[in-house]
A and B are shown apart, each in its own frame.
Chain A
Amino acid sequence: MSAIENTETLKHELTTEVDSLKHEMEETVHKEASPVTQILNDLGDHEEFSYGIWHADILPVILYDKGQFHFYGNRSSMEDSGDYVMVHHHIVRASNHEAPDLNLSITNMVAFQWMAMILLLVLFFTASKKAKKSGEKAPSGIHNLLESIVVFIRDDVVQPNIAGNAGVRLLPYFLVLFMFILVLNLIGLLPGGHTATGTIGVTAALAITAFFVINYTAIKESGIKAWFHHLLGGAPWWLGILMIPIEIASMFIKPFSLTIRLFANMVAGHTVLFSLMGLLFLFQSYFVAVPIVGFATFINLLELLVAFLQAYIFTMLTAIFVGLAIGEHSHEHAH
């Protein structure tokens, strides 16, 4: 009797031990994340501000859950409140460990966008002040730099694609689009910086804005009737059964392609860079380090090119899409 009881107790103890060991192991695995998870983590977004290895829990958490908003000054004050906890870098309800309905927190990438915004505002307001002073005289310094970009966007991106008054009205949009993407890309290239354009959320936001700009401009310039007529793509009406679904799909595929193109280009370069850096820690040898540093420098310079190129491509394609959406109407007779 006693022996059986003893065995039972031992069994129970062993099971508990194994369970706790298992748990500990999981924790350890999670703590000492593999380089791959570390890289993907760094590329992604967080609810805390981080620059390089410096982390600061300063960003407010805004949650919309069960029909009401919850505001917290930062993550730890959220956890102190006891309603929500962080599990595996995700905010979940403390009660059932499920994600809240909508997480509208100010994340790291939003903070990086603010940095870009502040930089752009300072640059453009300095230029604007200088412009007021200089009048008809030749521009200098920041004014000169920004004005050459303005003229480039106006003469090489907007005007060739969007004719007439619409082009003039949309110039600020394209200019801000180009500068915003460019500055976000470049901030991402700073050592320790995060690339906001390397997250789908940001590129999707820009593409959705582009979607509305494209369709709003098309309707405003050519009229709602022409906009519906576009859905035929210039084909005879009986092809409508084929053309209308294709055209509607293309309307959404265009901004989708913008989203993925920018996102993938920015992430790809960073992934290559991180992988090269990862090799350093894997091999821990000077023979590997020297070529790796060379490669990394090359990739970094390539990314500098890509930063400009992708900002240009996103802006250029948006301009082309706007031009197509307006222009098909006037080209109709040629079909």
Chain B
Amino acid sequence: MQDIMNVNPGLLFWSVINFSILLFILSKFAFPAMKKSLQSREEGIQNAIDEANALNEKAQILLAESQQKLDNTQKEVSKILTSARNLAEQNIQKANEEAEMSKQQKIEEAKREIERSKNDAISELRNEVADLVVTATEKILEIKLDKDSHLKLAKDQIEKLPKN
């Protein structure tokens, strides 16, 4: 037991020497290269992350911009569409109104024409009837009367007839 619990000064001395030598050699000749490689890699990774972040930010901005543009375009399109639709509606209404108007005009015209034709036909028919009446009367009476006085007579008679 004594052996284990004793501090051997020689062992202590050599342990300090060994540890110091190991520390010196490793930190002088082995660690710098490892440190450099580790640092450069860590820097590289950090740079890559930073770069990716920056790119991401840029992409976000671009995305927002294009979204804005898209929105604007959509608004414009809908505006154009609305105005076109309004215009078309107006046009249709106008055309409808015009068509209505011209239709009314045509109808009026036709009515007037019909009235005139009717009147013409009526007066012609009257003349014809008067002539026929005169002729028929002449024939019946076989008396040659003064054509004008009789005609006047007949016409007066006809005038007395109801208009239609």
CB pair A135–B38 under 8 Å, yes or no, is no
Q: Number of B residues contacting the other chain (C-beta, 8 Å)? A: 36
Cβ contact of B40, chosen from A45, A117, A135, A267, cutoff 8 A: A135
A67: shortest Cβ distance to chain B, in Å? 17
CB pair A117–B29 under 8 Å, yes or no, is no
B95: shortest Cβ distance to chain A, in Å? 77
Q: Given contacts A40-B4, A45-B8, A176-B23, is CB(A124)–CB(B30) below 8 Å?
A: yes
Count A-B pairs with CB separation below 8 Å.
139
CB pair A202–B11 under 8 Å, yes or no, is yes
CB pair B37–A173 under 8 Å, yes or no, is no
Q: Mark A207-234, 1 if CB is under 8 A from B, else 0.
A: 0110000000000000000000000000
Cβ contact of A199, chosen from B11, B26, B33, cutoff 8 A: B11
The answer for the CA separation of A199 and B18 in the assembled complex, in Å, is 15
CB pair B33–A45 under 8 Å, yes or no, is no
> Is A134 among interface residues, defined by CB-CB distance under 8 A?
yes
Q: Given contacts A128-B31, A151-B38, is CB(A204)–CB(B7) below 8 Å?
A: yes
Cβ contact of B16, chosen from A120, A129, A173, A208, cutoff 8 A: A208
Q: List residues of A (174-208) whose CB comes within 8 Å of B's CBs.
A: 175-177, 180, 196, 199-202, 204-206, 208
CB pair B12–A205 under 8 Å, yes or no, is yes
The answer for the CA separation of A158 and B15 in the assembled complex, in Å, is 23
Can you list 13 A-B contacts (CB < 8 A)? A40-B4, A44-B3, A45-B8, A102-B10, A107-B11, A110-B11, A127-B30, A135-B40, A177-B19, A200-B7, A205-B12, A208-B12, A209-B16
The 10 closest A-B pairs by CB, nearest first: A201-B11, A205-B15, A172-B27, A131-B37, A124-B30, A44-B3, A128-B30, A104-B10, A128-B33, A201-B8
